[in-house]
């Protein structure tokens, strides 16, 4: 039977190995002794973890190959820094590191350029925030972070906002066995309201009451964005006539609407 072959960076994802916890532990012990072959097996055996993580970033217009390579860098860092004595599953330790590496890549390659000094303030603020959480056992305020950094509070807010990742409107924020709720479901639509819908109907009916020339002038001016001079040339009258007819048509519309 033919397998579903999907290649990323030349890797056939359908043939990626899966390691058991026992195999992982043995390989980590060998890595600690300097066994590079064991390190390579650990990398290969956890590429599926990278694949599962990059799925949440594929709707941002980035090449999957690029995200996969960056995720692999995070995976390698996790392997090199993992401590078996901490009694934590490797995936629990590795996932935040892989995600962090991808987010750093996305921030640094964001088309909205953020100055180096602003990024530095933001990264320092994040480090201070983590330290304060450990010290206070609660989420610190922006004021406390600014005081620790000795910078104005507004600068911390601006810096943190500047490095925020853009969120897709189709990012699922909740799913409980049924249809997911997306970000767009939580955003109020100010345009498609009943009031605006009724206004649209009223405007359409009002346009039908204008004569053919008035409708044509309004169509060319406000739907096609042409100047009065361009409209005058198209229908064969002077610009002054176009201006006069346009004003009359708009006055009629106001009465009908």
Do residues 104 and 73 lie in contact, with contact meaning Cβ atoms separated by under 8 Å? no
Q: In this structure, is the dihedral angle defined by the CA atoms of residues 90, 31, 81 and 57, taken in order, positive or negative? A: negative
Q: Which of 154, 153, 64 is nearest to 102 (CA)?
A: 64
What was the pLDDT predicted at 163?
66
Of 218, 222, 223, the C-alpha closest to 206 is: 218
- For the chain, which ranges sit under pLDDT 50? 1-6
Domain architecture of the chain: domains with CATH: 7-108 (1.20.120.1810), 116-162 (1.10.10.10), 194-256 (1.10.10.10)
CA distance 73 to 67: 10
pTM for this predicted structure? 0.43
Percent of the chain with pLDDT over 90: 6
Structure confidence at residue 37 (pLDDT): 92
Q: What is the pLDDT of residue 75?
A: 92
H helices present in the chain, as ranges:
21-32, 36-45, 47-54, 64-81, 90-108, 116-136, 142-149, 153-162, 194-208, 212-218, 228-235, 239-256
Give the model's pLDDT for residue 1.
34
pLDDT at 14: 64
Q: What integer pLDDT is reported at residue 184 of this predicted model?
A: 56
pLDDT of residue 3: 40
């Amino acid at each position: 039977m033919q397998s579903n072959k999907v290649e990323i960076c030349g890797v056939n994802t359908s043939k990626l190995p899966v390691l058991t916890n026992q195999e992982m532990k043995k390989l980590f012990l060998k890595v600690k002794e300097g066994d590079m072959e064991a390190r390579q097996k650990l990398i290969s055996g956890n590429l599926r973890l990278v694949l599962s993580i990059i799925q949440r970033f594929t709707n941002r217009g980035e090449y999957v190959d690029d995200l996969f390579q960056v995720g692999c860098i995070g995976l390698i860092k996790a392997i090199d820094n993992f401590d078996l004595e901490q009694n934590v599953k490797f995936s629990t330790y590795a996932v935040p590191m892989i995600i962090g590496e991808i987010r750093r890549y996305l921030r640094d390659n964001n088309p909205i350029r953020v100055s180096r000094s602003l990024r530095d303030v933001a990264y320092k603020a994040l480090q201070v925030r983590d330290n304060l959480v450990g010290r206070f056992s609660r989420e610190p305020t922006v004021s406390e972070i600014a005081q620790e950094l000795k910078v104005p509070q507004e600068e911390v807010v601006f810096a943190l906002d500047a490095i925020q990742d853009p969120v897709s409107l189709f990012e699922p924020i909740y799913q409980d066995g049924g249809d997911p709720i997306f970000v767009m479901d939580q955003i109020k639509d100010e345009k498609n309201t009943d009031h605006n819908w009724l206004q649209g109907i009223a405007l359409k009916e009002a346009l039908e009451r204008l004569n053919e020339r008035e409708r044509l002038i309004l169509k060319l001016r406000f739907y096609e964005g042409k100047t009065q001079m361009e409209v005058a040339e198209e229908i064969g009258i002077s610009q002054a006539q176009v201006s006069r007819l346009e004003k009359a048509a708009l006055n009629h519309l106001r009465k009908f609407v």
